[in-house]
């Protein structure tokens, strides 16, 4: 029996799990709950991300995940192109975006061509398209938040992070989903360095090693929840 299935529910498209450790439904919601609480234009200004990326920058968020960081950046004032290729995640993001259109703030964000665009595909495609353009037409910042093994004490990890981890551990073949083959984060990073005109920002757990041995970041900013390694381009 598959562990996961996408299911249309009265509240929207949800991911249904039969995993004993994480049973039930997961609905991505940008308006309510933990994510909705953090996603307000006032609150995002206090987020660590607001301290490492210029609020007027054009940012490519190559690792969309649940969309939290990408949306925070857009709410800070950045122009954001966000990519997510996982076949269980991108339909949830697309549905969450559709549902959020009832809110006038999100409606403006998602329908304004210069504020936010979602690409349900491998970020490499987007970076490759931008790479050959003249400098003025390329993004200021490329952002990467690679998957990293979650902390052992799962009670400390927020519910949505548990879902994100479970989604990435599932055997997609068994669950009848298309295999998820994407460009590795290190290859994305190499491309990012060539594409960004100002900086590449990599999010890491506070004490994790750098994403690559070389180059080393120009500087890092550490916060309680994460560290941001900044590579000037």
Residues that bind ligand SAM (CB under 6 A): 62-63, 65-69, 83-86, 89, 122-124, 145, 147, 182-183, 185, 188
Question: What spatial distance separates the first Cα and last Cα of the chain, rounded to whole Å?
Answer: 48
50: tokens are 């607001």
Whichever of 14 and 60 has its CB closer to ligand SAM, that residue is 60
What's the min distance (Å) between Cβ of 2 and ligand SAM?
Answer: 19
Distance from C-alpha of 223 to C-alpha of 217, rounded to nearest angstrom: 16
Q: Which residue has the tokens 């299911």?
A: 7
Distance from C-alpha of 201 to C-alpha of 198, rounded to nearest angstrom: 10
What's the min distance (Å) between Cβ of 40 and ligand SAM?
Answer: 16
Whichever of 10 and 30 has its CB closer to ligand SAM, that residue is 30
What's the min distance (Å) between Cβ of 136 and ligand SAM?
Answer: 25
Q: Greatest CA span in the chain, whole angstroms? A: 52
Whichever of 2 and 180 has its CB closer to ligand SAM, that residue is 180
CB atoms under 10 Å from CB of 103, counted, come to 14
CB atoms under 10 Å from CB of 50, counted, come to 18
Q: Which residue is nearest to ligand SAM (CB)?
A: 65
Whichever of 14 and 49 has its CB closer to ligand SAM, that residue is 49
What's the min distance (Å) between Cβ of 187 and ligand SAM?
Answer: 8
């Amino acid at each position: 029996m598959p562990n996961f299935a996408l299911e249309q529910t009265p509240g929207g498209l949800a991911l249904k799990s039969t995993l004993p450790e994480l049973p039930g439904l997961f609905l991505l919601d940008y308006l309510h709950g933990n994510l909705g609480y953090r996603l307000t234009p006032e609150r995002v200004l206090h987020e660590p991300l607001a301290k490492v990326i210029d609020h007027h920058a054009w940012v490519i968020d190559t690792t969309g995940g649940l969309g939290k960081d990408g949306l925070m950046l857009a709410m800070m004032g950045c122009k954001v192109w966000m990519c997510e290729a996982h076949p269980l995640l991108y339909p949830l993001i697309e549905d969450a975006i559709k549902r959020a259109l009832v809110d006038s703030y999100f409606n403006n964000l998602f329908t304004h061509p210069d504020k936010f665009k979602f690409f349900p595909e491998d970020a490499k495609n987007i970076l490759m398209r931008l790479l050959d353009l003249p400098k003025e037409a390329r993004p200021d910042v490329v952002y990467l938040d690679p998957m990293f093994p979650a902390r052992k004490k799962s009670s400390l990890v927020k519910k949505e992070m548990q879902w994100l981890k479970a989604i990435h551990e599932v055997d997609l073949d068994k669950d009848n989903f298309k295999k998820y083959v994407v460009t590795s984060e290190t290859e994305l990073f190499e491309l990012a360095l060539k594409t960004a005109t100002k900086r590449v920002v990599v999010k890491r757990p506070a004490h994790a090693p750098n994403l690559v041995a070389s180059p080393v970041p120009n500087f890092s900013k550490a916060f309680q929840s994460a560290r941001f390694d900044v590579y000037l381009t």
